[in-house]
Structure 1
Amino acid sequence: MIKNEEKVVTLGSDTEAVLESSRKHINKKRLLFKIDVFVLSFVCLQYWINYVDRVAFNNAYISGMKEDLNMKGNDLNLTATCFTVGYVIGMIPNNLILLVVPPRIWLSFCTLVWGLLTLGMYRVTSVNQCCAIRFFQALFESCTFAGTHLILGTWYKENELAIRSAIFTSSGLVGSMFSGFMQVSIFNHLDGVNGLEGWRWLFIIDCCITIPIAIYGLVFFPGVPDASNISSKFSMTKHIFSDRELQYARRRLPARDESTKLDWSVIPRVLKRWHWWVFSLVWILGGENISFASNATFALWLKDQGYSLTHRNNDSSGIYAVGIVATVLSAIYLSKVKRARHWHVAVFTAVILCVVAIMIRIAPLRPAVMFTAQYLGGVSYAGQAVFFAWANVICHGDLQERAIVLASMNMFSGAVNAWWSILFYAASMVPRFEKGCYALIGTATASGIVSIMIRSLQIKETEKKKELAYIDVNDMFEDEDEGQDDEDEIADELVTEQQPVQPSHFV
């Protein structure tokens, strides 16, 4: 009950609780810092080790595994296809599981499983064993990329999301670089120790790094801003975030439609909108832009041209370094430049990749040209942060749609890449990759065009859509030392505007 000389306002129990808990100012910067430390840290570590484990196979291939397992022809591409098939199959199921199982538990469990599967790689004796393990690795690794973008969208505002998405995707590129450097060091120091080849030690060490990250996630990762995390077993969330901070973390984002549910109605709801169709298409194209780098074409070229093992592992890491720089610069541009738009980055990237393809097509055997072109091709990795952050923003209002769109983007891209890499970037096509150059020109040009189309559709949708109101508690309440002169007005606003928060793993 709030009283003054003129009137009495009676509040419901929920509203009264919000009013009481909100009187103390929530430090926004401190809360955002804690979100970065405990949310962003785990997803970045998880994606980093994901790529360390994933790229380890290619590094092992060029570091002795090919000869030891008598791999021939397109065996490398065959194992990549098996991985892609598992990745595609697991994509949407993993994202939907995250809607019903606490992400803290599911992501940590998946990390643990793929870490153990990585350990199993050190015992392989045939290509068939490699294919089987890679398939199951991918099933569990497929929770990482799209699932993390789904989670980031529950913690960060639009102006915060671009840079966090960039940091996250860059962590995978750092993992790719780290794996190459680690393979060189392992080969130099552990090759032959205890009768094991250096490439086998790489998988053992990868596993030893992965397991602690899984444990860290189970203990410190809060998952999503849900008050139920306070009482979660084995979780430190209750010692890191207060119940009031988690409530505010939910409420500071634009409200979404709470009436949507994870049932069969989600299918027509997703299919009748343009989001699923067009974002899936643009990332099929964006994923194949990256394919020129992700299929180890540079490492294969270096091996074909007789470069040493150190050069094969280290020189190709420069592509990932360029990818990190391009990703971060794109995020800074989108976050800091007022008139910046996602499609600007997409079109710029498309132009650069067309130049890359032309350079390699003209002079594939000239080292200066190949090195320059391959490193420039690293800008394609910026598309990971740009397109997924864009989809997160546009689909924010419908959680289930957002989960399916983000997963479908990666799923369809992977499905195409399963045969695309064999058709255009097979190991047998080194050193010229003639077909791959033409394919890159096609996908780069098309991705730029589709990005412009997305922007046009977004503008039309924004004009029609009414923004759902939400309450920023900090903006509604004055500091306590200014008295309680405005409490009646605040109480009225809370009574009329407060939106019920339904129990869920996600905001």
Structure 2
Amino acid sequence: MSSNGAIPHHPARRNSLKVCSMGSAGAPIPPQARRYGVAQSPRLQVLIVSASSRHGDNARASKRLSCQLLGCSSPFTLNCLGVLSPVAHRARLAAYQEVMSDIDRKRDESTETLVIPAQYRKAKKLSWAGRFYDVLDIEDREERWLLYKLDAVLVTFMSAGYFLKYLDQTNVNSAFVSGMKEDLGMYQNQLTTAITMWTVGYALGQIPSNLLLTRVSPRWWIPFLELVWGLCTLFSYKIKTYQGLYAVRFFVGLAEAGFYPGAQYILGSFYKPHELGKRAVFFHTFAGVGTLCSSALQAATYSGLRGVHGLSGWQWLFVIDAVITLPIAVAGFVFLPPLPGQREANKGTFWLSTREWTIIDRRIAEIGRAPANQMTWARFKKIALGWHIYVLPVLYILWNNSGNASSIMPLWLKSFNTVNTGTGLRYTVPQINHYVMPIQGVYIITAWFFGWTSDSLLRGRRWVWPAFTTILNASVCLALANLPLYKHIKAHFVLYYLTQVTGGMSGLLFSWANEICSADNEERALVIGLMNDLAYVVQAIVPNFTWKQTNYPKASIGLYYSTGLSLTFFFWIFLTLYLHKRDQKRAQYAAEVTTVSPDSESIEKEVLPELPEQGSEWGRMAREVS
């Protein structure tokens, strides 16, 4: 033992030594540390471990820093500490810990920035105020003001446009139960066929429209679509036969095709993961508002305008819908901006400055969302061989086609007037239009809850609520299929009101797709278009066999069909999650292999100058070595 009580290190015992780590005496030496020698003093409990076990490819810098700070000329002379005083040990240990924590911080920053690809990083953790409105968590005043403006224009316009789209899409159902059935002689499957014709047009237009948006500014394309479907809706009041209705509904569907997938693609081009879900869901719920207002509007026109200027109530509904639609289309030409990367070819809007476009570009780069790029054969081949364009559209097909049970309720209520139900209940047309309204109310409230919690509490985990609601939907459909049609009336009402709890998942599924396909702009546009398109292709064909008008209001086949789709959707969610996690691990591994970390010299130059100038022996030795 030396004169100061320290135990000198013996070379023969190099690999059998134990170390004391701040009170945890006796811990085994890490294998990476044994090569370089470890000094110990039971009295002082000093830990000297090569940082290779903690800092990976920065090990050389960490070893040199350890030697310098602890007064050693090389890693193999660390045993010199055995003869140093307790005061010197404590001073050097404090300095060592400070520098190591600094290297830890720098390494963590390097890992977050380089090793984990941007598109796979976890969504930002929000404060309680930010969970309600995430803009409140933005510290930069310019960025916060930018988000206020984007919300005021993009979210407001998309919500208003989708409200009108759904108003014009579903008004045919309200018109059907308000006199159009009798006026046009639609006593067989004509309503289903009319809806199918709209769906065919809708399916044909989506993919070309979404791909066109990668090259043409939304400022010109989206309002043009709104003008077309508004005019077609206006012409609907003049039709005299159900064959004419088929033609008009086809062109309404063709024009409306580009709006919803285009809106989801546009929102995904401006917002981060912790911002996107709630906005995608919020604007999607205006479909429910459109359906809600269509029922209320039809009830009002049926009662107040029927017979005015010789028009039926259902004809006035088409006129009023068109009058509301056309001004919103004109506003789109004024306010909608081009997409990031398009402003060079398409003039920007007056409400976004050059500085704000710079902030937008930075925000999108931070999450790894690629801008528009030239399509090449190699990129096309990569997209075609990937799983995104196959798995994600099936995911949406399963969801989209499993939620049709809500369509039964108005026809079930109307059947009380034509069938001897034994209940003595009868419902007027205004009552039918009003009683179905809570379906959309439940849908809107639950969708907002799911969207906000997906961004905040769940931090971008898009799969949780779809998995929950699809099991609920399967249970509701099974219950409706097995309940006697005209018994347990209150139970029927409750179940019908629950049929659209799953309706709010569309925004979350598209947010998920935007995030999964972040690295390729054209793939993202294509996948979003395919998801909505193929879902409606299936909807154009299958309802003719599973949701026949003649099977209403019981519709047992359709209910069992929806149950099967809901259960399949549940398992498909976890398949998608597995594939996405697999891609994340592969991308992270590739980034770890290719990442060029700062070399040891640069780290030493960054860290060592921050050490306090001290006149003690350890400071002098460290400076001499460096």
Does TM, normalized by the shorter one, top 0.5?
yes
2:361 to 241, 250, 264: 250
Residue in 2 that maps onto 1:423: 545
The alignment status of 1:405 with 2:530, answered yes or no, reads no
C-alpha spacing 1:72/1:262, structure 2 compared with 1 (3 Å): farther
Q: Which moved further from structure 2: 389-398 or 337-346?
A: 337-346
- Give the structure 2 partner of residue 148 of structure 1: 263
Match of 1:493 in 2: none
Is the contact between residue 119 and residue 207 of structure 1 (CA under 8 Å) also seen in structure 2?
yes
Question: Are residue 217 (structure 1) and residue 335 (structure 2) matched?
Answer: no
Counterparts in 2 of 1:138-177, with a 5 A limit? Answer: 138-177=253-292
Cα displacement (A) at 1:257: 4.8
Asked if the contact 1:280/1:409 (under 8 Å) is kept, the reply is yes
Deviation at 1:70, TM superposition (A): 0.9
State the match for 1:241 in structure 2: 352
Cα gap change, 1:355 to 1:257, in 2 (>3 Å):
closer
Match of 1:275 among 366, 377, 388: 388
Letter in 1 for 2:333: L
- Of Structure 1 and Structure 2, which has the larger fraction of its residues in helix? 1
Contact 2:146–2:356 (8 Å) recurs in 1: yes
SS in 2 for 1:27: helix
User: Are the counterparts in 2 of residues 59 and 179 from structure 1 also a CA contact under 8 Å?
Assistant: yes
The 5 Å alignment of 1:76-155 reads: 76-155=191-270
| Deviation for aligned residue 1:250 | 2.0
Q: Which one of the candidate residues 330, 354, 364 is aligned to 2:450?
A: 330
Identity %, equivalent residues: 32
Question: Taking structure 1 as reference, are residues 143 and 164 closer, same or farther at Cα in structure 2, changes over 3 Å only?
Answer: same
TM-score (norm 2): 0.68
Structure 1 or 2, whichever has the larger Rg, is 2
SS state at 2:368 partner = coil
Deviation at 1:361, TM superposition (A): 1.4
Give yes or no for the alignment of 1:378 onto 2:500: yes
Q: Give the Cα–Cα distance (whole angstroms) in 2 for the partners of residues 266 and 82 of structure 1.
A: 35
Which residue matches 1:284? 397
Q: Does 1:29 align with 2:149?
A: no
Query: What displacement does 1:347 show?
Result: 1.5
Paired residue for 2:512, among 390, 402, 406? 390
Matched, 1:365 2:365: no
Change in 2 beyond 3 A, CA 1:197/1:41 = same
RMSD: 2.1
State the partner residue of 1:441. 563
SS in 2 for 1:222: coil
Query: Deviation per CA, 1:159-192, whole angstroms, max 9, x where unpaired?
Result: 0000001111111111110111001111111100
Structure 1 residues 231 and 413: CA distance shift in structure 2, 3 A:
closer
- Residue 462 (structure 2) aligned to one of 342, 345, 349: 342
Superposed, 1:43-62 pairs within 5 Å as 43-62=158-177
Instruction: Tell me how far 1:415 sits from its aligned partner.
Output: 0.8
**Matching residue within 179, 183, 187 for 2:302:** 187
- Return closer, same or farther for 1:194/1:40 CA change in 2, 3 Å cut-off: same
Would the alpha carbon gap of residues 59 and 338 (structure 1) be closer, same or farther in structure 2, given more than 3 Å must change?
A: closer
Unaligned 5+ segments in structure 2 are 1-139, 418-426, 592-605, 607-626
Could you list the per-position Cα deviations for residues 122-154 of structure 1 after superposition, in whole angstroms to 9, with x for gaps in the alignment? Answer: 000011111111111111101111111100011
> How far, CA to CA, are the matches of 1:314 and 1:223 in structure 2?
41
Paired AA for residue 302 in structure 1: L
User: Within 1, Cα distance between the matches of 2:174 and 2:504?
Assistant: 23
Work out whether residues 163 and 335 of structure 1, in 8 Å CA contact, stay in contact via their aligned partners in 2: yes
Helix, strand or coil at the partner of 2:331 = helix
* 8 Å CA contact retained: 2:466, 2:502: no
Q: Flag the 1:245–1:30 CA change in 2: closer, same or farther, 3 A.
A: same
The 1:437/1:244 distance shift into structure 2, 3 A limit, reads same
For residues 71 and 336 of structure 1, do their structure 2 counterparts lie closer, same or farther at Cα, with a shift above 3 Å needed? same
Distance 1:419 1:103 in 2: 31
Letter in 2 for 1:274: W
Residue equivalent to 1:320: 440
Q: Determine the C-alpha separation between the residues in 2 that align with 1:165 and 1:40.
A: 8
How far is 1:223 from its partner? 3.8
**Paired residue type of 1:139:** L
Q: Is the 8 A contact 2:215 2:342 kept in 1?
A: no
Amino acid in the other structure paired with 2:399 = G
Compared with structure 1, are the counterparts of its residues 164 and 70 closer, same or farther at alpha carbon in structure 2 (3 Å cutoff)?
same
How far residue 101 of structure 1 moved from its aligned partner, in angstroms, is 1.4
- Is the contact made by 1:118 and 1:203 (CA closer than 8 Å) also made in structure 2? yes
Q: 1:168 to 1:285 in 2, by over 3 A?
A: same
Contact (CA 8 Å) 1:63, 1:309: kept in 2 or not? yes
Deviation at 1:260, TM superposition (A): 4.4
Asked if structure 2 preserves the Cα contact closer than 8 Å seen for 1:255 and 1:468, the reply is no
Q: CA deviation at 1:369?
A: 2.1
Q: Is the 8 A contact 1:227 1:243 kept in 2?
A: no
Q: Alpha carbons of 1:427 and 1:162: their partners in 2 closer, same or farther (altered >3 Å)?
A: same
Code of the residue aligned with 1:30 in structure 2: it is W
Letter in 2 for 1:206: D
Residues 297 and 425 in structure 1, CA contact (< 8 A), matched pair in contact too: no
Question: Secondary structure of 2:486's partner?
Answer: coil
Residues in 2 aligned to 1:104 and 1:468: alpha-carbon distance in whole angstroms: 39
Question: Alpha-carbon deviations, 1:185-228, whole Å to 9, x = none?
Answer: 11111100000111101111111000000011111122424573
Q: Is the 8 A contact 1:292 1:425 kept in 2?
A: no
Deviation of 1:291 (Å) = 2.5
User: Normalized against structure 1, the TM-score is what?
Assistant: 0.83
Q: Greater relative contact order: 1 or 2 (C-alpha under 8 angstroms, separation 6 or more)?
A: 1
1:251 partner amino acid: R
Question: Secondary structure of the equivalent of 2:375?
Answer: coil
Q: Is the 8 A contact 1:361 1:434 kept in 2?
A: yes
Alpha-carbon distance between aligned partners in 2 of 1:77 and 1:172, rounded to the nearest angstrom: 20
* 8 Å contact from structure 2 (residues 338, 346) kept in 1: no
Q: Secondary structure at the match of 2:499?
A: helix
State the distance in 1 between where 2:204 and 2:450 align. 31
User: Given that residues 466 and 505 in structure 2 are in contact (C-alpha distance below 8 angstroms), is that contact kept between their aligned partners in structure 1?
Assistant: yes
User: Does the 8 Å CA contact 1:227/1:247 hold for their aligned counterparts?
Assistant: no
Gaps in structure 1 of 5+ consecutive residues: 1-24, 470-488, 490-507
Secondary structure in 1 matching 2:542: helix
Distance between the aligned counterparts of 1:422 and 1:305, measured in 2?
Answer: 24
Preserved CA contact (<8 Å) 2:341 2:372 = no
Matched, 1:354 2:474: yes
CA distance in 1, matches of 2:321, 2:184: 20
- In the alignment of these two chains, the number of paired residues is 440
Distance 1:43 1:28 in 2: 21
Pairwise CA distance, 1:373: 1.1
Matches of 1:268 and 1:187, distance apart in 2: 55
Judge conservation of contact 1:359–1:369 (CA < 8 Å) in 2.
no
CA distance in 2, matches of 1:292, 1:468: 46
Which one of the candidate residues 456, 462, 477 is aligned to 2:584? Answer: 462
